[in-house]
């Protein structure tokens, strides 16, 4: 197989934070001549056309998402609904199994990459297809939360369980506070889709697949990958950082280019909390007030709190007048990749989605970490504690709320020249940026990834 190409079917969870990493790895594989069939909800396809850099090799397979009681009509992805309705999106995705199976029978791919559709491994095995659990969650988080070593099936799910590391977890500063440990308990108790919990989905997906894969490097998270390999007794294949290539002739919107271009290099703070996060009104206001308090120019791309219709209506009194000319708060979609790469941007206040973190680091942006839930918290601890490449915003130990002063303090720590913490963090971040920016890094990992996939075709299914 060393010189042959293969065909991959991609079935990510119907959420932007999953679909985008899947199109990124699809582009990397297509660049090497491999053919991709990408399952994606029908009405979501137009949002991804510009991200398909190899339309001759990457084909979008439209998926009609069945309606489920409780979902708004036409809802396809998690972006279309509030967080509490995400389990119903999963239920709808489970109902696509018959149509996915029919398509796979017709397509006959060598592999199917998936993450939360736990029924894929058994389905793929029946069809003679190799299944790869391609995780968009970091190995550090995957190793911490629901590994077999926790023996959660033998215990009552409790916060205290997740406040400590699982047995044998690699040496790390990562741990969760009491309020942070509530969410994993919910993921193990509450149903997430058709009669199954989120934790059960992951367990079945990882235990039944032919291989587990992550978008990371041995140099950054190798010890966590080794731990996962031992826990699941499963081959773990790394794809490298999988940094997205910019679409051909991509240019930043003229209004943002003009505004950002009016500031000195590396002086602007870019704040973005991802495609899913919606802060409550009070925390939204504390965040933007923290940006204001820093005294630095800032561009905040933030989703409106639920129930809010206009940015102007929820900003603190006098905020627009005080920040005129040096601050923007925008509620719409922005070209994050191009903004982070702009010469004037020097700091990223981030929710700690794994892809966003690597994107900020590779663009030499200092990191202010303000995780919202789940794996983002562990990603933040990895970056601030183990790697010491960013500073996490302080929060109340009881309820997890942050203040404008805390946001400002974290920004100043990473940005001010005389800060001792900042000096260490900036030096470490610079080393990581240099490592991730090596031209050969991405290509060598993808080449190795392809070779290991080809080798997998000679193995028998578990």
Pick from 44, 33, 18, 1: which is nearest to 114 by CA? 18
**Catalytically active residues, by annotation:** 18, 115
3-state per-residue secondary structure call for the chain: CCCCCCEEEEECCCCHHHHHHHHHHHHHHHCCCCEEEEEEEHHHHHHHHHHCCCCCCEEEEEECCCCCCCCCCCCCCHHHCCHHHHHHHHHHHHCCHHHHHHHHHHHCCCEEEECCCCCHHHHHHHCCCEEEEEECCCHHHHHHHCCHHHCHHHCCCCHHHHCCCCCCCCCCCCCCCCCCCHHHHHHHHCECCCCCEHHHHHHHHHHHCCEEEECCCHHHHHHHHHHHHHHHCCCEEECCCCCCCCCCCCCCCHHHHHHHCCCCCCCEEEEECCCCCCCCHHHHHHHHHHHHHCCCCEEEECCCCCCCCCHHHHCCCCHHHHHCCCEEEECCCCCHHHHHCCCCEEEEEECCCHHHHHHHHHCCCEEEECCCCCHHHHHHHHHHHHCCCEEECCCCCCCCCCCHHHHHHHHHHHHCCCCHHHHHHHHHHHHHHHHHCCHHHHHHHHHHHHHHHHHHCCCCCC
Residue (of 293, 85, 272, 66) closest to 193 by Cα position: 85
> Residue 322 CA to chain centroid, in angstroms?
34
Taking Cα atoms as reference points, which of 305, 309, 374 lies closest to residue 138?
374
Q: What are the distances in angstroms from CA 81 to CA 88, 185, 242, 278, 373?
A: 10, 23, 28, 11, 17
């Amino acid at each position: 197989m060393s010189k042959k190409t293969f065909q991959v079917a991609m079935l990510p969870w119907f959420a932007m934070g999953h679909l985008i990493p899947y199109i990124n790895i699809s582009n990397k594989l297509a660049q090497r001549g491999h053919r991709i069939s990408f399952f994606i909800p029908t009405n979501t396809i137009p949002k991804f056309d510009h991200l398909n850099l190899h339309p001759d090799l990457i084909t979008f397979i439209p998926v009609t998402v069945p309606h489920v009681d409780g979902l708004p009509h036409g809802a396809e992805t998690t972006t279309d609904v509030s967080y509490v309705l995400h389990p119903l999106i999963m239920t709808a995705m489970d109902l696509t199994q018959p149509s996915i199976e029919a398509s796979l029978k017709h397509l006959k791919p060598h592999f199917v990459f998936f993450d939360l559709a736990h029924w894929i491994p058994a389905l793929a095995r029946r069809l003679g297809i190799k299944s790869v659990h391609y995780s968009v969650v970091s190995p550090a988080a995957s190793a911490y939360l629901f590994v077999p070593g926790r023996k959660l099936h033998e215990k009552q799910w409790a916060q205290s369980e997740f406040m400590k590391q699982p047995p044998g977890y690699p040496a790390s500063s990562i741990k969760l506070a009491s309020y942070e440990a509530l969410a994993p308990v919910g993921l193990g108790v509450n149903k997430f889709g058709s009669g199954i919990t989120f934790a059960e989905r992951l367990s079945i997906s990882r235990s039944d697949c032919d291989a587990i894969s992550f978008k990371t490097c041995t140099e950054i998270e190798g010890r966590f990958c080794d731990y996962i390999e031992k826990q699941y007794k499963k081959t773990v294949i790394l794809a490298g950082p999988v940094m997205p290539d910019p679409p051909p002739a991509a240019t930043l919107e003229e209004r943002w280019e003009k505004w950002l271009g009016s500031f000195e290099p590396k002086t602007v703070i870019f704040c973005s909390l991802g495609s899913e996060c919606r802060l409550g009104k009070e925390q939204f206001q504390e965040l933007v007030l923290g940006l204001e308090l820093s005294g630095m120019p800032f561009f905040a791309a933030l989703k409106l709190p639920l129930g809010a219709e206009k940015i102007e209506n929820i900003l603190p009194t006098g905020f627009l007048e005080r920040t005129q000319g040096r601050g923007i708060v925008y509620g719409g979609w922005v070209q994050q990749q191009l903004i982070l790469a702009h010469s004037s941007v020097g700091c990223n206040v981030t929710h700690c989605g794994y892809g966003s973190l690597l994107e900020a680091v590779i663009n030499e942006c200092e990191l202010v970490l303000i995780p919202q839930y789940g794996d983002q918290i562990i990603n933040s601890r990895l970056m601030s504690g183990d790697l010491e490449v960013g500073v996490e915003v302080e929060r109340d130990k009881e309820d997890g709320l942050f203040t404008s002063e805390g946001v400002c303090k974290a920004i100043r720590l990473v940005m001010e020249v005389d800060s001792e913490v900042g000096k260490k963090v900036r030096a470490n971040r610079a080393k990581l940026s240099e490592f991730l920016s090596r031209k050969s890094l991405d290509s060598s990992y993808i080449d190795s990834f392809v070779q290991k996939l080809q080798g997998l075709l000679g193995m028998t299914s578990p």
